């Protein structure tokens, strides 16, 4: 209930904002054509402007629906097409990043030297705005002849391995000393300790960090599409919208990106629940 109320309030604020921000634009339009206009016409104009400063929600939804259903899914005008391009880079990057991140975490937990020498750099690397380096990757990889999906996926992977590594290091070292001692009293082998104690106790943190990782992966894929003047993908769509002043199209692309993000998180959440069930938890 409170959520609904706040959403409605935000929508109302949005509409008021749209009227106020687009007012001048519409008035200038009327005055250029030297037509007489009433206030009602003026407000109506702010709701239907072709290139508004702030698009009204219903305009965005209409354009969004049109971009989705108005064209065949493989047409470059269809949002489905662009979403698919971005989504494939996101997925590929996410899988690479997650696998690499888990692998790195296992290494770090196993070797004290790596924990002391490598982990600080991994943490430091996060304070560097890595996303901003996306163009270099694209350019450098382009120069050695790697184009298309892979460079974008690599950026996504580079961005999203970090939360996975950190989460897994935390998770794999989370068992109590008591529990480790218990395994010792049963003289369990290192691999038994890993699979029966460390890994299960890391699973909850793994999924928490995967949720973070998949959104970052999406952001990485979108940003990677910006500097290359890419022809396809949500990032390219944003760039095109910004060049040609197609504000409504921009918002629609943003809406698509948001829905992708929500969908991806939900997907990870579902996997989490399935994993919990497989591990014997009651749902």
Site string for other proteins, 184-223 (x = CB under 8 A): ---------------------------x---x--xx--xx
Q: How far is 106 from 126, CA to CA, in rounded Å?
A: 20
Residue 75 or residue 126: which is nearer to other proteins going by CB?
126
Q: Taking contact as CB under 8 A, which single stretch among the options 36-44, 93-101, 102-110, 125-133 is the one that binds other proteins?
A: 125-133
SS3 state at 270: helix
Q: How far apart are CA 137 and CA 144, in angstroms?
A: 11
SS (H, E, C) 46-63: HHHCCCCCCCCHHHHHHH
Residue 237 in contact with residue 106, Cβ under 8 Å?
Answer: no
**Contacting residue, 110, 189, 192, 258, with other proteins by CB under 8 A:** 258
From CA 231, how far away is CA 75, in angstroms rounded? 12
In Å, how far are 75, 158, 210, 238, 264 from 214, measured between CA atoms? 27, 12, 6, 20, 7
User: CA 157 to CA 213: how far, in whole Å?
Assistant: 9
Distance CA 109, CA 117 (A): 12
Among 23, 61, 254, 267, binds other proteins (CB under 8 A): 254
Q: Does 178 bind other proteins (CB under 8 A)?
A: no
**Calpha distance 36→40 (Å, rounded):** 12
175 is a contact residue toward other proteins (CB under 8 A):
no
CA distance readout (Å), 76 to 27, 48, 176, 233: 35, 25, 54, 9
- Build a one-symbol-per-residue string for 16-55: x at contacts with other proteins by CB under 8 A, - elsewhere: -------------------------------------x--
- Does residue 262 interact with other proteins by CB under 8 A? yes
Q: Which of 84, 118, 203, 232 touches other proteins (CB under 8 A)?
A: 118
Footprint of other proteins on residues 52-111 (CB under 8 A)? Answer: 53
Give the separation between CA 119 and CA 169, rounded to whole angstroms. Answer: 10
Please identify which residue in 32, 33, 39, 144 interacts with other proteins, judged by CB under 8 A.
144
The reply to whether 275 sits near other proteins by the rule CB under 8 A is: no
Interface contacts to other proteins, rule CB under 8 A? 2-7, 10, 53, 112-113, 115-121, 124, 126-133, 135-136, 139-140, 143-144, 211, 215, 218-219, 222-223, 226-227, 234, 238-239, 241-242, 245, 247, 250-251, 253-254, 257-258, 261-262, 265
């Amino acid at each position: 209930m409170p959520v609904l109320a706040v959403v409605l309030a935000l929508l109302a604020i949005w509409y008021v904002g749209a009227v106020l921000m687009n007012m001048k634009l519409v008035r200038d339009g009327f005055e250029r054509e030297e037509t007489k206009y009433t206030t009602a016409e003026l407000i109506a104009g702010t709701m239907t402007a072709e290139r508004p400063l702030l698009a009204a929600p219903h305009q965005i939804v209409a354009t969004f629906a049109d971009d989705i259903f108005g064209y065949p899914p493989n047409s470059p005008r269809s949002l489905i097409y662009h979403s698919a391009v971005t989504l494939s880079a996101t997925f590929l990057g996410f899988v690479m990043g997650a696998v690499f991140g888990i692998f790195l975490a296992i290494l770090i937990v196993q070797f004290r030297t790596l924990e002391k020498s490598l982990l600080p750099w991994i943490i430091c690397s996060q304070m560097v705005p890595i996303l901003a380096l996306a163009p270099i990757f694209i350019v450098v990889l382009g120069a050695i002849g790697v184009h298309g999906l892979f460079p974008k996926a690599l950026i996504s992977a580079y961005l999203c391995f970090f939360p996975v590594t950190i989460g897994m290091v935390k998770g794999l070292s989370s068992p109590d000393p008591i529990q480790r001692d218990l395994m010792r009293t049963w003289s369990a082998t290192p691999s038994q300790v890993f699979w029966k104690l460390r890994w299960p106790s890391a699973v909850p943190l793994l999924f928490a960090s995967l949720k973070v990782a998949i959104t970052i992966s999406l952001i990485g894929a979108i940003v990677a599409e910006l500097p290359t003047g890419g022809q396809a993908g949500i990032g390219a769509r944003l760039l095109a919208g910004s060049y040609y002043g197609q504000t409504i199209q921009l918002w629609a692309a943003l809406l698509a990106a948001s829905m992708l993000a929500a969908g991806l998180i939900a997907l990870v959440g579902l996997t989490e629940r399935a994993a919990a069930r497989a591990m014997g938890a009651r749902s």
